[in-house]
């Protein structure tokens, strides 16, 4: 083998090595993005499940078995949350989810931690929580995992309607 052939072979090896490294790097990045997407999707599923469960409950303890049209009967903003001894299986109204938290290890390859808050919101500006009774409540669920770079936070507003 002469010097020219040696240089061509060396150039080909460098080109092949660079290509292999780039392909491996792309595969690793694709796997990372795919895993992150999967974890975010699973976290979103957990939050959505909690939202669906909460929205299947009554708006307030006062509206659990009867309808009301006087705002004074609603639960005070500082009393939102489950009653003494009430657990998730016995939640009967939307605001029982205030302070609810836990972990979900039923998903493949990761443990997810979630926490919920419920507040009254201003009917004209639902981004603003208020410290008084209104006909609108917001549930915010935060889901995290050590395997995720991001935090998934979802909210829903639940309103009570009555007709005269």
Q: Does 120 fall in a domain? A: yes
Give me the torsion for CA of 133, 94, 86, 107, rounded to 10°. -140
- Measured CA to CA, the distance from residue 75 to residue 58 in angstroms comes to 12
Question: Could you tell me which residues are beta bridge partners of residue 104?
Answer: 112
- Measured CA to CA, the distance from residue 116 to residue 28 in angstroms comes to 35
Tokens of 119: 């507040």
How many structural domains comprise the chain?
1
Q: What is the tens place of the pLDDT at every residue in 98-138?
A: 999 999 998 777 899 999 999 999 989 999 999 999 999 99
Tokens 């939640």: give the residue: 91
The model's pTM: 0.80
Q: Supply the mean pLDDT for the chain.
A: 89
Q: Where are the beta strands (DSSP E) in 64-122?
A: 101-104, 112-121
Q: What is the mean pLDDT of residues 149-160?
A: 95
Q: Does 94 fall in a domain? A: yes
Q: Does 164 fall in a domain? A: no
How many other CB atoms are found less than 10 A from the CB of residue 17? Answer: 10
Q: What is the tens place of the pLDDT at every residue in 2-49?
A: 777 888 788 778 887 787 777 766 666 667 778 888 899 999 999 999
pLDDT at 79 over 80: yes
Question: Domain containing 49: what range?
Answer: 3-159
- Read off the DSSP letter of residue 64: S
Q: What is the tens place of the pLDDT at every residue in 64-77?
A: 888 888 999 999 99
Q: What is the tens place of the pLDDT at every residue in 49-58?
A: 999 999 999 9
**Is 131 exposed, middle or buried, given 0-12, 13-18 or 19+ CB atoms closer than 10 A?**
exposed
Half-sphere exposure of 98 (CA within 13 A, CB side): 20
- Measured CA to CA, the distance from residue 129 to residue 121 in angstroms comes to 4
């Amino acid at each position: 083998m002469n010097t020219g052939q040696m240089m061509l072979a060396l150039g080909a090896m460098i080109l092949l090595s660079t290509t292999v490294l780039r392909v491996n790097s792309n595969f690793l990045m694709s796997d990372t993005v795919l895993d992150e997407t999967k974890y975010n999707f699973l976290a979103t599923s957990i939050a959505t499940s909690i939202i669906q469960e909460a929205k299947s409950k009554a708006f307030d303890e006062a509206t659990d078995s009867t309808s009301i049209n006087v705002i004074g009967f609603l639960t005070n903003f500082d009393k939102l949350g489950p009653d003494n001894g009430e657990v998730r299986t016995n939640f009967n109204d939307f605001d029982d989810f205030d302070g609810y938290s836990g972990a979900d290890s039923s998903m493949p390859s990761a443990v997810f931690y979630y926490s919920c808050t419920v507040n009254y919101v201003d009917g004209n500006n639902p981004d603003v929580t208020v410290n008084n009774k209104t006909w609108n409540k917001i549930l915010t669920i935060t889901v995290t995992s050590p395997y995720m770079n991001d935090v998934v936070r979802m909210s829903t507003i639940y309103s009570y309607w009555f007709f005269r």
